[in-house]
Amino acid sequence: MPRFLILVATLVMSCATPASATDADPLVAAILGETPLIDDLRTLTDEIGGRPDGSDANAAAVEWALERFREAGVTARKEAFRMPMRWLERSASAQVRGDVHFSARVAAMPYSTPTATGGLTVALVDAGKGTPAEIEGLGARAKGAFLLVETPMLEDIPGLFREYMDAAATEARAIEVGVAGVVYVGSRPRNVLYRQIAALGTDNTRPMLVMERSNGMRALRLLRQGKKLELHVEVDLDTGPAYESHNVVAEIPGRELPNEFVVIGAHLDSWGLGTGALDNGCNVALVIDIARQMQRLGLRPRRTIRFALFNGEEHGLHGSWGYVITHADELDDTVMASSYDIGSGRITGFFTGGRAELLDAVERALEPVRGLGPFHNIDIPIVGTDNFDFMMEGVGNLVANQESANYGPNYHAGTDTFDKVDQHQLRLNAAIAAAVTYNFAEMEVDWKRQTRAEIEDLVESTDLGAQMRTFHMFDAWEKGERGRKD
Ligand SMILES: [Zn+2]
């Protein structure tokens, strides 16, 4: 290009007015074009790998994310928050002994306790599906034993919520009757191991395991034939006291209302059996790419957009909790916080958190990407990802609802790797997320942060309280440790 044309082009670009008030089209177009979205996902998952909070890989992921924002010219920083304890598995093994002997691959559930040197050998008993009646039916045999619990195969997102709910009920009952520990028959296909956090979180006091499905079912059949079995377990952990971890928070300042905020978030940490591609590397890459394309195009919506890569999500939503503590003074002016955390299945709409006033806003925000729908928004509160503490602080929050796709079978599992991500759909999802984020940063807002009384009403008038109990979040709310104060 001749020199003077470059000058003209530069002038035209620098004089160009910002995109019109609700026009996210250039951003959507950029994201649907060629961007480093997939490259980012590949380096995060293949090169850094699984990144449980407290691990070296997790610290590397934090630096990686900072560097991605810096390369894009987007201001970003590390923000410290407190993790309640360090929990990493070094190794876990198990042998079925007694009338029949065989080894079985196991994974320790997060916040499982370790076993003493030499391991632990106790009776293994058939707890059926772990219902209260089945556990009560074991009578004295449950005391001091490992309960072996049959689980249905996990296929989709509703199945995943059932798995968490069933586990919470099973573990509560099992602890009441004094078991040594609980062993779940793996619910993922092809003997894949995975981590599912113990229902009591850091309050858990027993070894809790998942056993590969084939051998778990074999042990159950043997027990049902009247064989006497014991389980020998060795669990070696890397544990420690509370420590400081970091979120990565990037920002594009608003042009008119720089002190009002829209947050788009995904979590950087993962469990370490796979490489955390569906959960949640793909949505980390999505968040970074939206920031990068906005910066590249020089887009400045009215409000400030915060691009939050939360850490410590898997251990109990600690990074997003840390965010609301660090940014307590800004929560009155945070108009919306969104979370993307269900892999790369098609975004079918948003959960609006039991706040009907957000439904119309989401509809308007989706306008530029209507062709990627249909969208169906659902006005219920959702517990299980990083919207939680925003919701309990009364901040308008969205969780992207997505088709289950292959999320369930690979959830927290050794198979959650780069090749499972639907690259095409991830890009379409990024376009949807970009439109929603940009438009919330532009639009007129007619809702406010909820008061404590309104949040209490939400807990009581929906199944929010039940969900909080399932995820061991209710106590912290009741004690006033989490959620908006009076
Ligand atoms: Zn996740």
Pairing of strands 397-402, 334-339: parallel
Distance CA 1, CA 96 (A): 74
DSSP letter, residue 99: S
Sheet strands (E) in 253-333: 257-267, 303-310
Amino acid found at 361: A
CA of 343 to the centre of ligand 1 (A): 8
Distance CA 358, CA 479 (A): 29
Parts of the chain belonging to CATH 3.40.630.10: 19-84+243-478
DSSP letter, residue 210: E
CA of 280 to the centre of ligand 1 (A): 5
CA of 238 to the centre of ligand 1 (A): 22
Would you state the structure tokens that stand for residue 340, as one six-digit string?
Answer: 């993307």
CA of 247 to the centre of ligand 1 (A): 15
CA of 123 to the centre of ligand 1 (A): 35
Specify the pTM: 0.93
Phi/psi at 404 (nearest 5 deg)?
-60, -35
Give mean pLDDT in consecutive 10-residue pieces for the chain, a chain of 486 residues: 40 39 84 98 98 98 98 98 97 98 98 97 98 94 98 92 93 95 96 94 96 98 98 98 98 98 98 97 98 97 98 97 98 98 98 96 97 97 97 98 95 97 98 98 97 97 95 95 94
pLDDT computed for residue 486 by the predictor: 81
pLDDT computed for residue 468 by the predictor: 96
- What are the residues whose beta carbons fall under 8 Å from the beta carbon of 481, sequence distance 6 or more? none
pLDDT computed for residue 23 by the predictor: 77
CA of 262 to the centre of ligand 1 (A): 21
Distance CA 316, CA 386 (A): 9
CA of 301 to the centre of ligand 1 (A): 28
CA of 340 to the centre of ligand 1 (A): 8
Average pLDDT over all residues of the chain: 94
CA of 75 to the centre of ligand 1 (A): 25
CA of 341 to the centre of ligand 1 (A): 5
Parts of the chain belonging to CATH 3.50.30.30: 88-237
Q: Hunting for tokens 């089209």 — which residue is that?
A: 25
CA of 267 to the centre of ligand 1 (A): 6
Q: Is 3.40.50.970 the CATH classification of the domain at 88-237?
A: no
pLDDT computed for residue 22 by the predictor: 53
C-alpha dist (Å) from residue 358 to 329, 374, 434: 22, 18, 17
Among residues 306, 307, 245, 205, which one has the least CA distance to residue 61?
A: 245
CA of 368 to the centre of ligand 1 (A): 27
Would you state the structure tokens that stand for residue 407, as one six-digit string?
Answer: 């999320």
DSSP letter, residue 399: E
Distance CA 161, CA 338 (A): 20
CA of 93 to the centre of ligand 1 (A): 26
105 touches 193 (CB < 8 A): yes
CA of 385 to the centre of ligand 1 (A): 7
- The CATH architecture of the domain made up of 19-84+243-478 is 3-Layer(aba) Sandwich (3.40)
